[in-house]
Structure 1
Amino acid sequence: MSKEAIQFLPLTETTYLILCSLSRPLHGYGIMQQVSDVTEGRILLAPGTLYGALSKLSKDNLISTVSSVMNEDKKKNYILSTLGSEVVKLELVRLEKLLRESKILLGVNESE
Protein backbone atom coordinates (compact mmCIF):
# COMPACT_ATOMS: atom_id res chain seq x y z
CA MET A 1 0.00 0.00 0.00
CA SER A 2 1.69 3.17 -1.14
CA LYS A 3 1.23 6.65 0.30
CA GLU A 4 0.77 7.83 -3.27
CA ALA A 5 -2.33 5.62 -3.67
CA ILE A 6 -3.81 6.41 -0.25
CA GLN A 7 -3.98 10.12 -1.00
CA PHE A 8 -6.80 9.48 -3.51
CA LEU A 9 -9.11 7.79 -0.99
CA PRO A 10 -12.00 7.88 -0.50
CA LEU A 11 -13.20 7.97 -4.09
CA THR A 12 -16.56 9.28 -5.17
CA GLU A 13 -18.94 6.59 -6.38
CA THR A 14 -18.74 7.86 -9.96
CA THR A 15 -14.93 7.96 -9.98
CA TYR A 16 -14.77 4.48 -8.46
CA LEU A 17 -17.08 3.04 -11.11
CA ILE A 18 -15.19 4.75 -13.94
CA LEU A 19 -11.92 3.32 -12.65
CA CYS A 20 -13.42 -0.15 -12.19
CA SER A 21 -14.68 -0.11 -15.76
CA LEU A 22 -11.13 0.51 -17.01
CA SER A 23 -9.68 -2.84 -16.00
CA ARG A 24 -9.65 -3.37 -19.77
CA PRO A 25 -9.30 -0.76 -22.53
CA LEU A 26 -12.51 1.18 -23.18
CA HIS A 27 -13.47 4.38 -24.96
CA GLY A 28 -15.69 7.01 -23.37
CA TYR A 29 -19.00 5.76 -24.75
CA GLY A 30 -18.10 2.22 -23.63
CA ILE A 31 -17.46 3.49 -20.10
CA MET A 32 -20.84 5.28 -20.08
CA GLN A 33 -22.61 2.11 -21.24
CA GLN A 34 -20.83 -0.18 -18.82
CA VAL A 35 -21.50 2.03 -15.78
CA SER A 36 -25.15 2.40 -16.79
CA ASP A 37 -25.51 -1.37 -17.29
CA VAL A 38 -23.80 -2.34 -14.03
CA THR A 39 -25.83 0.18 -12.00
CA GLU A 40 -29.03 -0.75 -13.86
CA GLY A 41 -29.42 2.85 -15.01
CA ARG A 42 -29.00 4.35 -11.55
CA ILE A 43 -25.89 6.23 -12.69
CA LEU A 44 -25.93 7.85 -16.11
CA LEU A 45 -22.69 9.61 -16.96
CA ALA A 46 -23.10 12.75 -19.03
CA PRO A 47 -20.31 13.28 -21.58
CA GLY A 48 -19.09 16.46 -19.85
CA THR A 49 -18.90 14.72 -16.49
CA LEU A 50 -17.15 11.68 -17.93
CA TYR A 51 -14.56 13.50 -20.01
CA GLY A 52 -13.85 15.93 -17.17
CA ALA A 53 -13.26 12.95 -14.88
CA LEU A 54 -11.09 11.18 -17.47
CA SER A 55 -8.97 14.31 -17.86
CA LYS A 56 -8.44 14.56 -14.09
CA LEU A 57 -7.74 10.83 -13.72
CA SER A 58 -5.21 11.06 -16.51
CA LYS A 59 -3.47 14.08 -14.91
CA ASP A 60 -3.38 12.16 -11.60
CA ASN A 61 -1.77 9.20 -13.44
CA LEU A 62 -4.60 6.84 -12.45
CA ILE A 63 -5.41 6.03 -16.08
CA SER A 64 -3.56 6.18 -19.36
CA THR A 65 -4.46 6.30 -23.01
CA VAL A 66 -3.96 3.13 -24.97
CA SER A 67 -2.50 4.33 -28.24
CA SER A 68 -2.05 0.86 -29.70
CA VAL A 69 -5.74 0.08 -29.28
CA MET A 70 -7.61 2.31 -31.69
CA ASN A 71 -10.78 1.12 -33.28
CA GLU A 72 -12.08 2.00 -36.73
CA ASP A 73 -13.78 5.13 -35.36
CA LYS A 74 -10.45 6.44 -34.01
CA LYS A 75 -11.92 6.65 -30.51
CA LYS A 76 -9.43 7.15 -27.69
CA ASN A 77 -9.25 4.17 -25.34
CA TYR A 78 -8.34 4.39 -21.67
CA ILE A 79 -7.05 1.82 -19.16
CA LEU A 80 -6.05 1.75 -15.50
CA SER A 81 -2.43 2.56 -14.74
CA THR A 82 -0.54 0.59 -12.11
CA LEU A 83 -1.30 3.36 -9.60
CA GLY A 84 -4.97 3.40 -10.64
CA SER A 85 -5.21 -0.34 -10.12
CA GLU A 86 -3.75 0.01 -6.63
CA VAL A 87 -6.18 2.82 -5.79
CA VAL A 88 -9.19 0.76 -6.96
CA LYS A 89 -8.11 -2.25 -4.90
CA LEU A 90 -7.59 -0.10 -1.79
CA GLU A 91 -11.02 1.48 -2.25
CA LEU A 92 -12.63 -1.94 -2.62
CA VAL A 93 -11.05 -3.08 0.65
CA ARG A 94 -12.21 0.15 2.33
CA LEU A 95 -15.78 -0.30 1.09
CA GLU A 96 -15.90 -3.97 2.13
CA LYS A 97 -14.72 -3.01 5.63
CA LEU A 98 -17.30 -0.21 5.79
CA LEU A 99 -20.04 -2.66 4.80
CA ARG A 100 -18.97 -5.18 7.50
CA GLU A 101 -18.83 -2.47 10.16
CA SER A 102 -22.21 -1.07 9.12
CA LYS A 103 -23.85 -4.49 9.39
CA ILE A 104 -22.43 -4.96 12.87
CA LEU A 105 -23.64 -1.55 14.02
CA LEU A 106 -27.08 -2.10 12.51
CA GLY A 107 -27.34 -5.64 13.86
CA VAL A 108 -27.82 -7.11 10.39
CA ASN A 109 -26.99 -10.80 10.04
CA GLU A 110 -25.20 -12.00 6.92
CA SER A 111 -28.09 -14.42 6.29
CA GLU A 112 -30.72 -11.65 6.15
Structure 2
Amino acid sequence: MTPAIFALLLALHNGERHGYALMAEVEELTGGAVTLGVATLYRSLRRMRVDGLVEEIETESVAAEELRADRRAERRRSYRITPAGRTVAADEARRLSVLVDAAARLGVLTEGKRPL
Protein backbone atom coordinates (compact mmCIF):
# COMPACT_ATOMS: atom_id res chain seq x y z
CA MET A 1 0.00 0.00 0.00
CA THR A 2 1.33 3.42 -0.88
CA PRO A 3 1.68 6.13 1.77
CA ALA A 4 -0.84 8.22 -0.21
CA ILE A 5 -3.52 5.53 -0.12
CA PHE A 6 -2.99 4.79 3.57
CA ALA A 7 -3.13 8.50 4.40
CA LEU A 8 -6.35 8.89 2.37
CA LEU A 9 -7.95 5.98 4.23
CA LEU A 10 -7.01 7.63 7.51
CA ALA A 11 -8.38 10.98 6.33
CA LEU A 12 -11.70 9.33 5.47
CA HIS A 13 -11.90 7.37 8.72
CA ASN A 14 -14.12 9.91 10.51
CA GLY A 15 -16.33 10.96 7.63
CA GLU A 16 -16.75 11.76 3.98
CA ARG A 17 -14.66 14.44 2.32
CA HIS A 18 -14.32 16.07 -1.08
CA GLY A 19 -11.00 16.20 -2.94
CA TYR A 20 -9.63 19.50 -1.64
CA ALA A 21 -10.58 18.63 1.95
CA LEU A 22 -8.82 15.28 1.56
CA MET A 23 -5.62 16.96 0.38
CA ALA A 24 -5.68 19.31 3.38
CA GLU A 25 -6.55 16.53 5.86
CA VAL A 26 -3.72 14.29 4.64
CA GLU A 27 -1.23 17.12 4.99
CA GLU A 28 -2.48 17.91 8.49
CA LEU A 29 -2.56 14.26 9.64
CA THR A 30 0.99 13.65 8.45
CA GLY A 31 2.44 16.95 9.60
CA GLY A 32 3.31 17.71 5.99
CA ALA A 33 5.20 14.45 5.46
CA VAL A 34 2.67 13.42 2.81
CA THR A 35 1.37 16.06 0.43
CA LEU A 36 -0.87 15.09 -2.45
CA GLY A 37 -1.00 16.80 -5.79
CA VAL A 38 -4.26 16.75 -7.70
CA ALA A 39 -3.11 14.01 -10.10
CA THR A 40 -1.91 11.75 -7.27
CA LEU A 41 -5.09 12.37 -5.30
CA TYR A 42 -7.49 11.41 -8.06
CA ARG A 43 -5.34 8.54 -9.36
CA SER A 44 -5.26 7.12 -5.83
CA LEU A 45 -9.00 7.61 -5.32
CA ARG A 46 -9.73 5.90 -8.65
CA ARG A 47 -7.57 2.93 -7.62
CA MET A 48 -9.24 2.83 -4.20
CA ARG A 49 -12.70 2.83 -5.81
CA VAL A 50 -11.73 -0.06 -8.09
CA ASP A 51 -10.39 -1.97 -5.08
CA GLY A 52 -13.60 -1.31 -3.10
CA LEU A 53 -11.88 0.74 -0.38
CA VAL A 54 -13.86 3.94 -0.96
CA GLU A 55 -17.03 4.96 -2.71
CA GLU A 56 -17.85 8.16 -4.50
CA ILE A 57 -20.93 10.11 -3.50
CA GLU A 58 -22.40 13.21 -5.04
CA THR A 59 -23.22 16.16 -2.85
CA GLU A 60 -24.54 19.56 -3.74
CA SER A 61 -22.40 22.60 -3.16
CA VAL A 62 -24.57 25.68 -3.04
CA ALA A 63 -22.77 29.02 -3.18
CA ALA A 64 -24.61 32.29 -2.53
CA GLU A 65 -24.85 33.18 -6.22
CA GLU A 66 -26.16 29.71 -7.02
CA LEU A 67 -29.23 30.28 -4.90
CA ARG A 68 -30.85 32.11 -7.80
CA ALA A 69 -33.58 30.03 -9.41
CA ASP A 70 -32.05 30.31 -12.88
CA ARG A 71 -28.83 28.47 -11.91
CA ARG A 72 -28.31 24.81 -11.14
CA ALA A 73 -26.42 23.85 -8.01
CA GLU A 74 -22.88 22.68 -8.69
CA ARG A 75 -22.20 18.99 -8.08
CA ARG A 76 -19.20 18.12 -5.95
CA ARG A 77 -17.78 14.62 -5.65
CA SER A 78 -17.09 13.40 -2.18
CA TYR A 79 -15.72 10.10 -0.98
CA ARG A 80 -16.36 7.83 1.95
CA ILE A 81 -14.53 4.81 3.24
CA THR A 82 -16.18 1.40 2.85
CA PRO A 83 -16.16 -1.40 5.43
CA ALA A 84 -13.45 -3.09 3.34
CA GLY A 85 -11.46 0.15 3.43
CA ARG A 86 -11.71 0.27 7.21
CA THR A 87 -10.43 -3.31 7.44
CA VAL A 88 -7.52 -2.63 5.09
CA ALA A 89 -6.59 0.56 7.00
CA ALA A 90 -6.60 -1.29 10.33
CA ASP A 91 -4.50 -4.13 8.89
CA GLU A 92 -1.97 -1.65 7.46
CA ALA A 93 -1.78 0.26 10.76
CA ARG A 94 -1.05 -2.99 12.62
CA ARG A 95 1.58 -3.98 10.04
CA LEU A 96 3.33 -0.62 10.32
CA SER A 97 3.11 -0.66 14.10
CA VAL A 98 4.97 -3.98 14.25
CA LEU A 99 7.72 -2.57 12.03
CA VAL A 100 8.02 0.68 14.01
CA ASP A 101 8.20 -1.30 17.28
CA ALA A 102 11.00 -3.44 15.80
CA ALA A 103 12.86 -0.32 14.66
CA ALA A 104 12.57 1.16 18.15
CA ARG A 105 13.87 -2.03 19.80
CA LEU A 106 16.86 -2.05 17.43
CA GLY A 107 17.64 1.59 18.16
CA VAL A 108 16.99 2.67 14.58
CA LEU A 109 14.85 5.59 15.70
CA THR A 110 17.69 7.11 17.73
CA GLU A 111 20.48 6.56 15.18
CA GLY A 112 21.80 9.77 13.75
CA LYS A 113 19.85 11.80 16.27
CA ARG A 114 21.91 14.63 17.71
CA PRO A 115 21.46 15.90 21.25
CA LEU A 116 19.75 19.27 21.49
Please give the range of the TM-score, normalised by the shorter of the 2 chains.
0.7 to 0.9
CA distance 1:104–1:41, change in 2 (3 Å): closer
Q: Paired residue for 2:21?
A: 30
Equivalent of residue 43 in structure 2, options 52, 58, 66: 52
Greater RCO, 1 or 2 (C-alpha within 8 Å, sep 6+):
1
Quote how far apart the aligned CAs of 1:52 are.
0.7
Q: Paired residue for 2:2?
A: 12
Q: What is the aligned length?
A: 98
Assess if the C-alpha contact under 8 Å between 1:18 and 1:35 holds in 2: yes
Matches within 5 A, 1:38-77: 38-67=29-58, 69-72=59-62, 73-77=74-78
Q: Paired residue for 1:8?
A: none
Corresponding letter in the other structure for 1:47: V
Separation (CA, whole Å) in 2 of partners of 1:42 and 1:88: 18
Consecutive unaligned residues of structure 1, counting only runs of 5 or more, are: 1-10
Q: Paired residue for 1:81?
A: 82
Quote how far apart the aligned CAs of 1:107 are.
7.4
Separation (CA, whole Å) in 1 of partners of 2:90 and 2:41: 21
Separation (CA, whole Å) in 2 of partners of 1:106 and 1:39: 23
Q: Paired residue for 2:99?
A: 98
SS at match of 2:27: helix
SS at match of 1:40: coil
Consecutive unaligned residues of structure 2, counting only runs of 5 or more, are: 63-73, 111-116
If each structure's strand is expressed as a fraction of its own residues, which one has the higher value? 2
Separation (CA, whole Å) in 1 of partners of 2:102 and 2:96: 10
Taking every aligned residue pair, what percent have the same amino acid on both sides?
26
Bigger Rg over Cα: 2
